[in-house]
Amino acid sequence: MNAPRPGHGYDEVMTPSGQPLLTARGVSKHFGGVVALDDVSLDVFGGEVHALMGENGAGKSTLGKVLAGALPPTAARLTIDGKPVSIRNPLDAQRLGVTIIFQELDLFAHLSIAENIAIGNLRYQERFAVSYRAMAQFARPALSRVGLSELSPHTPVHSLSVAQQQLVAIARALSMNARVIVFDESTSALTDEAVERLFAVIDQLRRDGVACLYVTHKMDEVFRICDRITVLRDGRYVGTRPAKQTDMAELVRMMIGHDVRSDAHAAACATDRPLLSINNLRTAGLRDVSLQVAAGEVVGLAGLVGAGRGEVGRALFGLDPILGGQMTLKGQPYRPHTPRQAMKRGVALLPRDRKAEGLMMQMSVRENASIAVLDSLNNLGWIRRRREAQQTDHVGRQTRLKAAAPQAVVSSLSGGNQQKVLIGRWLLREADLYFLDDPTRGVDIGAKEDIYAIIEDLARRGKAVLMVSSELPELLRCCDRVVVLNEGRVAADFDARRTTQEQVLTHATSAAAGHARPQAG
């Protein structure tokens, strides 16, 4: 089990010594009857980056939130510096120096960077009115610690990139003297470049003696920046390993109990029947995009954030007005003005942000799955409930959905299962063209494989699939072709089986994206 990772076998094992900064014993969290955490224990030392890994619903995010006071635990014995403490809300956590950086950032979009950082400390100011200069001064040291000193503290947060916003959130945590920072799936929305920057900041935090608890699914990240790894499964503690004494295979076994295949390819069901063709498409975010998708073909869209990957989907789904160019769907001209028109023409969009754009969080699993097909379940205005139950249960099995009950509120599900509900919604709809915007975002390995299987199945059934992903290996694994976008233009069009990550990256990042479309091999 403890086979050393190649190339690291000779390293000294780094085991932290001394007193842990934070210890957690017997942490349990119940949501109604669902046990999300069951008697979990954890030690975090100052100056270590500690990964929390686990499958869908394993409880890793829940544990992070409990430690940061975002969720009150059902039971927990916590100590900080050896002294017993009680953390029941974010304010308790803040006073004790524990902060969480959420996947969905909790910044005030319309306030400035300085205001966001100083917001918890405004009351320390002596005068009645806030001093913007004092706020900027307060914000600057924290900003420079996260490498954002080149930005004016007065910049409004909504004008920043997601990556910069995340760094602002970290700066805010630092300004409140955080000693333990929980990162909840922090890189899921970041480009590779931004990930590097975040890692540099985390590395600096480690040297400053801050304890970083890093909740993630991504294996490569764990081995790059983490010192120790704790694995949870089904809400229980499985084990902790020093990163240098374990390998991917062992972690996967700990997380899901069996090995996953990693060198798979797309099913190659592409037909020669063109289903969608886009010619010189121009929208607010696209300058000139032309591409074809055949029935049964899976086409990946690669590119940096802002290159126009998601914008292709927005244009296809009638969300962005089309400023120029033509689209043809199943041989007919296609120019949708609303999502409803697009849907009726057989186009489905799996949105990137499933909480903001996809799910009705207070509604049940079943209601969320059936919402787009209610017109076919409509009997003189009434919903055919039995047929609704049959269809949604069927699609639940098809996506290997794990939910307490079809009547369970969708917000009680883990991220991966929420995504499956959303995918199920569009499977029910039986569209011809599926645009999947980062379908595995914030989803763990087990659920990822399920989603890959669904994509493969769609291709087998002759559907056309356009897929965006921030992970290149995923595109190369799932797609027949990969189209690389660069600044709103098509930079390259590759056969996924005969290309490499390096080739794709080169075209995605090269500054001068020409109109050349090498049919490279």
Partner 1 sequence: MKQWLTNFLTHRRDLVQSLIVLAILFTFAVIFSPRTRGEYTYNLFGLSCTVEHWPIFLKIENLTDLLRANSPVAIIALGMTFVILTGGIDLSVGSTIALSAVVCATLLVEQQTSMATAMIASMVAGGLVGLVNGGLIALLRIQPFIITLATMIGIRGLARLVVNNEQIGLVGGQSDSAIHFAHIMSQKSVVIGAFLLLAIAFGLLLWGTVLGRYVRAMGDNARAAQYAGLPTRRVLAAVYTLTGLLAGVAGVFTCARTNNGNPNEGIAAELSVIAVVVIGGTSLAGGRGSVTGTVIGALVIAILTNILGLNNVDANVQSMIMALVIILAVVAQTISLGAVTRWWRQWRGSTTN
Residues that bind partner 1 (CB under 8 A): 32, 317, 319, 338-340, 342-344, 349, 351, 356-363, 367, 371-372, 374-375, 377-378, 381-383, 385, 407, 425
The nearest distance, CB 372 to partner 1, in angstroms, is 5
Instruction: Give the number of other Cβ atoms within 10 Å of residue 42's Cβ.
Output: 20
Complex with partner 1: residue 30 or 330, whichever CB lies closer: 30
Query: Residue 393 has which token pair?
Result: 């249960």
Q: Are 259 and 253 in contact (CB under 8 A)?
A: yes
Q: Tokens 């801050």, residue?
A: 210
Q: How far apart are CA 94 and CA 105, in angstroms?
A: 17
Complex with partner 1: residue 130 or 372, whichever CB lies closer: 372
Q: Are 399 and 450 in contact (CB under 8 A)?
A: yes
DSSP element (H, E) containing 330:
none
Complex with partner 1: residue 198 or 359, whichever CB lies closer: 359
The nearest distance, CB 356 to partner 1, in angstroms, is 6
DSSP element (H, E) containing 114:
helix 113-118
**Which residues contact residue 264 at a Cβ distance below 8 angstroms, ignoring those fewer than 6 apart?**
452, 477
Distances (CA, A) of 512 to 462, 484, 515: 36, 13, 10
Closest CA to 121 of 146, 101, 141: 141
Complex with partner 1: residue 186 or 283, whichever CB lies closer: 283
Q: Are 428 and 372 in contact (CB under 8 A)?
A: yes
Complex with partner 1: residue 54 or 69, whichever CB lies closer: 69
The nearest distance, CB 452 to partner 1, in angstroms, is 23
Q: How far apart are CA 323 and CA 346, in angstroms?
A: 22
Complex with partner 1: residue 64 or 346, whichever CB lies closer: 346
The nearest distance, CB 360 to partner 1, in angstroms, is 4
Complex with partner 1: residue 204 or 362, whichever CB lies closer: 362
Q: Is the alpha carbon torsion for 247, 248, 254, 258 positive or negative? A: negative
Complex with partner 1: residue 154 or 344, whichever CB lies closer: 344
Helical residues (DSSP H) of 152-285, grouped into ranges: 162-175, 192-207, 219-225, 248-256
The nearest distance, CB 495 to partner 1, in angstroms, is 32
The nearest distance, CB 86 to partner 1, in angstroms, is 13
Closest CA to 40 of 17, 61, 13: 61
The nearest distance, CB 106 to partner 1, in angstroms, is 18
The nearest distance, CB 446 to partner 1, in angstroms, is 25
Q: Are 45 and 39 in contact (CB under 8 A)?
A: no
Residue 47 φ/ψ region, left for φ over 0, alpha for ψ in the -120 to 50 degree band, beta for the rest: left
The nearest distance, CB 367 to partner 1, in angstroms, is 7
The nearest distance, CB 319 to partner 1, in angstroms, is 8
Q: How far apart are CA 291 and CA 202, in angstroms?
A: 40
